[in-house]
Amino acid sequence: MIEGVVSAAYEAVLTLTLQGPTGQTRDIEAVIDTGFTGFLTVTPLLAEELALVFEGTARATLADGGETTFPYYSVAVLWDGQARHVEADAADTTPLIGMRLLDSHSLYMEIEDGGRIIIEAC
């Protein structure tokens, strides 16, 4: 089981531990974004600090209809007690948790300031 909290800004926030290829780790706060179909976003600075392995460049359509390109990296995420190797898109934004990271899990949220978030494997 993974737990988080709904912030005063009504964002569903989890603390994730990320691990780079040489073993260095970093805890980050990330927001669940059900409109994001990828795994995870991280800042370019965090990708550099963890020396993440560059995998390629992708293109995305933004909510306003515009298009952008961005690099993506391989990263290990401590997820429900296990290391999961996933793709992390690099973007100058708050780290986001996408639907692919939530795949095969149920998500429960109490939508109020300080509300509980519970994620469990299906």
The domain made up of 2-121 is a member of CATH 3.90.550.10: no
| Every domain of the chain and the residues it spans | 2-121
pLDDT of residue 62: 75
pTM above 0.95, yes or no: no
pLDDT of 64-92, one tens digit each?
888 889 999 999 999 999 999 999 999 99
pLDDT of 15-67, one tens digit each?
999 999 999 999 999 999 999 999 999 999 999 999 999 999 998 877 788 88
Spatial distance between the Cα atoms of 115 and 98, rounded to a whole number of angstroms: 20
pLDDT of residue 70: 92
pLDDT of residue 13: 98
Q: Is the dihedral of CA 73, 6, 60, 92 positive or negative?
A: negative
